[in-house]
Every structure is written in structure tokens, then in C-alpha cells.
Structure 1
Amino acid sequence: MMISNNSKIVLILGANSDVAKQCILQYVEKGFSVIASSRNLKSLEDFINENKIDSTKISLHHFDATDFSSHQNFYDELPSKPHIVIYAAGLLVENQQALQDFEGTFEMMKVNYSGAVSILNIIAMDKFNKNLERIIGLSSLSGVRGRKSNFIYGSTKSAFTQYLAGLRQELASRKIVVNVLVSGYINTKINEGLELNKNLLMEPNYVAKHIVNAGNSFSIVPNFKWKLIYYILKILPESLVAKLP
């Protein structure tokens, strides 16, 4: 599939997530062209066919966040350099498993943090790409404070958020905006099987709308309930955080 060069280009890294797929639909509807990248291209092809997405508006490319040595070639071979980049790749290993299985923990670190830094550094440092205007990373409320139920996953998201904060400062002089999506529970496959409060669950299309309509503020926290939880978590004394699950 080849995309038309008549519209702005959005590169989605880790485009197989439920939120990323909704971003594809919403960006195309707004007139953007999308470069969707993932390890599982078959799933993306099925999604494109099911939703009858115009093939001139989307291009599929294999991307493995954990294969750092492939990232430069991946970027060099893109059909067009992007205006907007979204890092949506993510992996969740439950905390008790992560505590006992470093291989799983390391894979989570590579997908959620190291792989993001590897590819986003390449993209951000390409000063020949005059198109680049925005980078958005998908983080998590789990990265706001360390909690005993998910601190290993949360640490990868916390590191990613801090990286994006510094990258925002680095790119400010080039007028490139960097945002971080700090989300709570989303009704996605990554959370299947987890016991979550259904009153706090957000739908992927709702979260995607906040990404597609990102403004200039660094943090994007969808849903007023999660905004409240976000601010409470940030100011809560350590003695009270320790009592949380």
C-alpha cells in the first residue's frame, strides 16, 4: 500500500493496540495519511479491510520495538517522513510474574521504554525532516507513583514519561510539540482478565479522540475522574500511597 503525499503524515508505532487502531480511523477521517507499523501486519490488514479504509490513505510497515538495530533502517525506508508521530507500543506483565521472571520484565522494559527511546531519538534528531511538528507517547497513570501492585510496569511508564518531558524541552526551539497521554483503565486487550473498576473504564475511541485532538499542554489525561485521580496521586503523602493496592 502506498500513501498519497497530498496530506499530512501520521506515523503510528505499535499500531495494533486498540487505541492506535481508533487513532487510524480518526486521523483518516480528518484527512491525514497514516503509516501504521507493527510486528503483526496481518491483524492490521484485517482491520483495514473490515473498516474499508482507503488504501491511498494508509501504508503498512513492519516495526519491532525490541529490535533496536533495525530502527534506523525502518525510519530511513519510510515512504514519507511524518508530521506527527505516535508511540503506542506497550506490554504489560503482571507484577508478581515480573518479580520472578526477569525475561518478561526485560521484554516489558524494551517495549515500553528502551524501544521508544531508540526510535524516537532517531526521528527527533532528523533535522532534515522539516515536516515534524508533534510527537505523542502513550504512557499510563501507573507511572505517576510507585504502587506495590504494579510498580515494575509503572516504572517503565514513569521512565517513558520523564524521557518525553526532556524531549519536549529539547525540541521546543524547533517548535515541535511533545505530548504524553497519561491514561487510566482502558477497555483494551492489554487489560483482558484484570479485575478493574468498570465505572472507570474508558473506551479506546474516547481515548483516541484526545490523542488526535492533542493541544500544546504536555500531559493529556482523558476523563475528569482520571484527572482527579491523577492530581490526587501526585500530591498524596508516601504513607498513604503505601496503603494503596
Structure 2
Amino acid sequence: MNKNTNKTVLILGGNSDVAKESIKQYLQKGFFVMAASRNTKSLEEFVSKNAFHAKVTVLYFDAVDFDSHQKFYDDLSAKPHIVVYAAGFLAENEKALHDFGSARQMMQVNYMGAVSILNIIAMDKRNKSLERIIGLSSLSGVRGRKSNFVYGSTKAAFTTYLAGLRQELRQRNIVVNVLVIGYIRTKINEGLQLNESLIMEPNYVAKFIVNAGNSFAIVTNFKWKMIYWILKVLPESLVAKLP
């Protein structure tokens, strides 16, 4: 019997390309999936196209409607064993610098919404089933760079939050992971000039989500691990020369 039978995964931001690939892979492992998004129509079409009705429930979730988060969690038909926060929003740095609405949207979706809903989930000690929380962050949050530091700051904040949450939940044997992601061929990156040799496919990234182990920071593939560690140790004078 599959050890994951009757276990549930809640994916917040379930309409992203990586989230949809994660849904497929969690189902292959025997999980039941609750996929939540503002765009339920797109998710329902995805579920219908792949005939996932028996194992996937589509839910409405708005990351920036903070007041609705407690009710959203209370109304879940089953409390999750695994939670994946995959919601994200990206505005170009130049726009974010001149239009605070864009900057605020990134802050609310990438960080504030995550803290709001994950605090509710993590602090429910009645849910003895909770095993793991996974957040999707970015290499942009490793060091501030002039090309994307507003977006990067929201991801840096999210990573720091998850690091602390990991310590908070350690005594309850709940694992917290952060996926530190580079370029992915997804809707959010359409139109951006990116190095083609570094772009990853959504199904590749999804494998790291569904197979997450005990390490906190998960960096996909050798190239991005090298970039991650270079960014970590690079002197400020050299970081300033990066785009």
C-alpha cells in the first residue's frame, strides 16, 4: 500500500506552472491535492484536462486578502500533511521604484500573504498531521542587486521567515524547506531577457519540491548552486558591478 495514501497536500498559488507540475507529481506519489488560487477557472480547466477530479480539489485563495485566511483554513475539508506556498508576483524593478502599487503587490503576495496564511497553518497544534511546509523563494533574495532588489527584498524576507519558522516547528518534528530558485520557463518570466542555458523547466523544479528532504535551503542543479554560493561570498564591491 502506498504510504502517501490518504495524505493531503495544500498548494497555495496552485495556478503557477511549477505548481501544476507539482500537482501531477504529488498525485503520482499517491497524495490527495488541494490546489488553491484566485484563478480557479484555469485550475479547474487543468484538472479537467488531466482527469484529476477524484484526487484534486480546487479552492479559491487570495494571498492578499489577509482577513479571509483564517476562514479559508478553517473551511478546509482536511487539514494538510504538506503545505506548499507557490504564490508569487513579479514587477520590473524600474516600475517598482516609481509605482509603489507594484512594489506593494510584490510585498503582499511574496511575503505578507505567505506569513499570514502560514502562521495560521503552523500554529494550529490540533493538526497532528502536518509534516512539512515548503516555500518557493528565489536567488534574487540572496543579495541585493540593482536590477531587481525590490523583488529580491520580498524573497529575502520570505526566506528569513521560513528559516525562523523551521526553528519554531523543529520541536514538533515539522520540516520547513525553502526552494531557492533561479530562472524558470514560466509565465512570470515571459518577455524577460534571460540566459537560455540557465533556464529550468517547471517539471524539473517540481521534482525538488515533491522530493524535498530535511535540508533547509534547496537549490536546484549544479549551475544554480554555484551561483548561489558565489552570491553568498562575493564582496560588496563586486556585487555592485552586477546588473
Q: Give the TM-score range, shorter chain.
A: over 0.9
Distance across 1 between alignment mates of 2:49 and 2:200: 23
TM-score, normalised via structure 1 length: 0.97
Distance across 2 between alignment mates of 1:52 and 1:69: 33
List runs of 5+ in structure 2 lacking aligned partners: none
TM-score, normalised via structure 2 length: 0.98
Residue 189 of structure 2 aligns with which residue?
191
Distance across 1 between alignment mates of 2:241 and 2:74: 48
SS in 1 for 2:54: helix
SS in 1 for 2:155: helix
**Aligned residues: CA RMSD:** 0.9
SS in 1 for 2:11: strand
Distance across 1 between alignment mates of 2:226 and 2:46: 34
1:171-209 deviation line (CA, Å, top 9, x unaligned): 000000000000100000000000000000000000000
* 1:95-134 map, 5 Å: 95-134=93-132
Residue 49 of structure 2 aligns with which residue?
50
List runs of 5+ in structure 1 lacking aligned partners: none
Residue 63 of structure 1 aligns with which residue?
61
Residue 225 of structure 2 aligns with which residue?
227
CA drift at 1:56: 2.1
Distance across 2 between alignment mates of 1:6 and 1:73: 27
SS in 2 for 1:28: helix
Residue 75 of structure 1 aligns with which residue?
73
SS in 1 for 2:35: strand
User: 2:85 is matched by which residue type in structure 1?
Assistant: Y
Residue 27 of structure 1 aligns with which residue?
26
Give the count of matched residue pairs: 240
Of 143, 146, 151, the residue aligned with 2:144 is 146
Residue 179 of structure 1 aligns with which residue?
177
SS in 2 for 1:132: coil
Residue 13 of structure 1 aligns with which residue?
12
Distance across 2 between alignment mates of 1:127 and 1:177: 15
Distance across 1 between alignment mates of 2:5 and 2:91: 41
Distance across 1 between alignment mates of 2:51 and 2:139: 34
User: 2:41 is matched by which residue type in structure 1?
Assistant: K
Matched residues, percent identical? 73
1:21-59 deviation line (CA, Å, top 9, x unaligned): 000000001100000000000000111122222x22111
User: 1:136 is matched by which residue type in structure 2?
Assistant: I
